[in-house]
Amino acid sequence: MNSLDYHKNNSNTPLGDGGISLIECPRDAMQGWKHFIPTDQKIKYLNALLKVGFDTIDFGSFVSQKAIPQMADTKQVIDRLLMTDDRTKLLAIVANTRGAEEAVVYDAITYLGFPFSISPTFQLRNANSTIEESLIRVEEIQELCIKNKKQLVIYLSMGFGNPYGDLYNEEILLHWADEMVKREIHIISLADTVGVATPQQISFALNALISKYASTTFGVHLHSTKNNWKAKLQASVDAGCTRFDGALKGIGGCPMAQDELVGNMDSELMIAYFQQQNNLMNLNQDALRESLLIASEIFI
């Protein structure tokens, strides 16, 4: 069975009316937090989020504990998650083949996410590898995913520019998206890692990719401020995007990126936006309120 056959046979129907897939990213919110969040608190928060009805929870990572100490307890966390609703899937981030080998043994994990930066500087900072080395890792991790009935999600990080002066243009983004499609990656998320994307950039990239690759799902992982989140989200929706990453309270950002982090797009704002369009109407509002309360206790 090739990866396309597997993708078709195991596609997860998005929750909510209108085909919207909302991916909640507590891992992204927690990984750069200034103090270690106790394992019990992480578990409490994640179990609350699992009741809300998100399509996917980006819950943890199998990466270097030295580089990201906040995620050192991912293995302890996953053993205590209550997977009572099989509509919501788990995604774990990996940075190399060894991390993928650790992650694929867990039946509860459906997706492995790999951050592939189109900025050479950031790829070295984030994964200690060149872009060429990372492409080899993608191929190895994809093979592991197919063998173990997982799906690989590629994040094209620094997808709209970078703060390092590395060459960036839209053709570079489209080139690397094409390279991932050639390797039968069927979920690709365009990541605005440092919050520099303009609505025009988002619109151009999504319109170009969605129309060209019908069998690939293109999502967005957008970082934003309170002033520009809606314009970025609207540009994504207008371009036909249906897969969106966010984090409650708008917390998060890669600690390997730069000193001043721009937070994730706030899931609470996104939910209100989509519900105004009669999408995501079947979320558990009580569980959402509980999750927001726990988030307020953790992120202080």
10-residue averages of pLDDT along the chain (300 residues):
41 54 96 93 98 97 94 98 92 97 98 97 91 97 98 97 94 97 98 93 97 97 92 98 96 56 88 96 96 95
Among the listed residues 88, 86, 52, the one whose alpha carbon sits nearest the alpha carbon of residue 270: 52
pTM for this model (two decimals)? 0.91
Q: Give the tens place of pLDDT for each residue, 239-277.
A: 999 999 999 999 876 544 444 456 899 999 999 999 999
**CA–CA separation, 230 and 208 (whole Å):** 21
**CA–CA separation, 75 and 268 (whole Å):** 28
Residue with tokens 């002033």: 227
pLDDT of residue 261: 57
| 21: β partners | 243
Which structure tokens are listed for 82? Answer: 């209550």
* Domain boundary assignment for the chain: 3-298
| Contact yes or no for 268/9 (Cβ under 8 A) | no
| Residue 288: half-sphere exposure toward Cβ, Cα within 13 Å | 18
What SS3 class is residue 126?
helix
| 245: β partners | 23
pLDDT of residue 32: 84
The CATH number that domain 3-298 falls under is: 3.20.20.70
Q: Give the tens place of pLDDT for each residue, 129-156.
A: 999 999 999 999 999 999 999 999 999 9
pLDDT of residue 127: 86
**CA–CA separation, 199 and 229 (whole Å):** 10
What is the Rg, in whole angstroms, of the alpha carbon atoms belonging to the chain?
A: 17
| 39: β partners | none
| Contact yes or no for 147/190 (Cβ under 8 A) | no
pLDDT of residue 21: 97
Q: Which secondary-structure segment (H or E) carries 100?
A: helix 97-103
Which phi and psi angles does 292 have, rounded to 5°? Answer: -65, -35
Q: Which secondary-structure segment (H or E) carries 4?
A: helix 3-9
Residue with tokens 């990453």: 245
